[in-house]
Amino acid sequence: MKPNMPLIVIDTHVHMYDCFELATFLASAYKNCQVHAAHRQHHGPVLGVLLLTESSWDHWFQQFVTFADQNTDISHPGSSTWHFRRTNEDFTLFAESTQGEKLLIIAGRQLVTKEKFEVLALMTNQTFQDGMTIQESIEQVKNSGGMPVIPWAFGKWWGTRGKILTELMTSAVMSQVLLGDNSGRPKFLPYPEHFTLAHTQGIRILPGSDPLPLPSEYWRPCSVGLSFKTALDDATPGIHLQRLILDTGTATTAYFQHERLSRFIKNQIALNMRKHRPATAYSETK
């Protein structure tokens, strides 16, 4: 492997909210990529990758496409100016800053199943309906060409749903399905038994930041994730990246940090106090 091969740093579970300042959010993502690169003692080029997991009411990726088509830059005092550039794929684009920072943004969705699981549809620009069974959700994501991921969520892998997931993980349905971990999982909880099962089943676990809809969460993108060294095709980076992630022979480095107990409690209180309302797409440039 060439010594100047780019380090690809991937956050596999990224939400964006209207309470985030977009230019600062992107700058934070790249900064976190640089921190990880330093830990790996990598001194070559770095490409950050944000795998979006948009809820049914969100349309951030389409907003970025509009920015690219209209040659619209975004900026914020104290942050770089960012420009968006299309690829030859309808589900990927690049965000590049005046400071040389570069991020690959990939479209994706988060589905809520009939059983109240979450299923991520990574690397697809297709929309889906909520309320399908988990098996139907997985098949819909596969049919779209995307990667289905079942992410950990507080309390959702316990009890009856935990038994459903165990049965699912030992069935043929799990072919080409992955599990997801996220930085909101507090350290005081025991290691999820389904992750242990995943290791025995050869199922890859994708770490992601999973930011909460709170202004204080703007710093999270790429604070956890996975990385490996490769040169992606600029024209079709999503197809190339998906193939590498699904290949169990691809050697990846996962990096992770647990949520602190104090912050976990603080965030749970803030979420309970926050009146639920759909997030709106970024509607103005600064």
- Confidence category of residue 184, pLDDT binned at 50, 70, 90: confident
Question: Cβ neighbours of residue 52 under 8 Å, at least 6 residues apart?
Answer: 14, 15, 16, 60, 61, 105, 106, 107, 108
Q: What is the pLDDT of residue 262?
A: 61
Q: How many residues does the chain have?
A: 286
The answer, yes or no, to whether residue 284 has pLDDT greater than 50, is no
Q: What pairing do the DSSP bridges indicate for beta strands 7-14 and 178-182?
A: unpaired
Is the distance from CB of 155 to CB of 122 less than 8 angstroms? no
Q: Write down the mean pLDDT value for the chain.
A: 91
Residue in the structure block whose two tokens are 């299923």:
119
The answer, yes or no, to whether residue 274 has pLDDT greater than 80, is no
Q: What is the pLDDT of residue 286?
A: 30
What is the average pLDDT across 226-249?
95
The answer, yes or no, to whether residue 11 has pLDDT greater than 80, is yes
Digit-coded pLDDT (tens) for 85-144:
999 999 999 999 999 999 999 999 999 999 999 999 999 999 999 999 999 999 999 999
**What is the residue-wise DSSP string for 72-85?**
--B--TTS--EEEE
Q: What is the number of other CB atoms lying within 10 angstroms of the CB of residue 165?
A: 23
Q: What is the pLDDT of residue 8?
A: 98
Q: What is the pLDDT of residue 188?
A: 85
Structure tokens that stand for 103 in this block: 């991020």
The answer, yes or no, to whether residue 280 has pLDDT greater than 60, is no
**H helix intervals, 126-282:** 134-143, 159-169, 193-201, 237-246, 261-273
Q: d(Cα 14, Cα 16) in Å, to the nearest integer? A: 7
The answer, yes or no, to whether residue 261 has pLDDT greater than 80, is no
User: Which is nearest to 180 in space by CA: 159, 214, 212, 157?
Assistant: 157
Q: Which carries the bigger pLDDT value, residue 273 or residue 61?
A: 61
Q: Map out the domains of the chain with their CATH numbers.
A: 7-273 (3.20.20)
Is the distance from CB of 172 to CB of 191 less than 8 angstroms? no
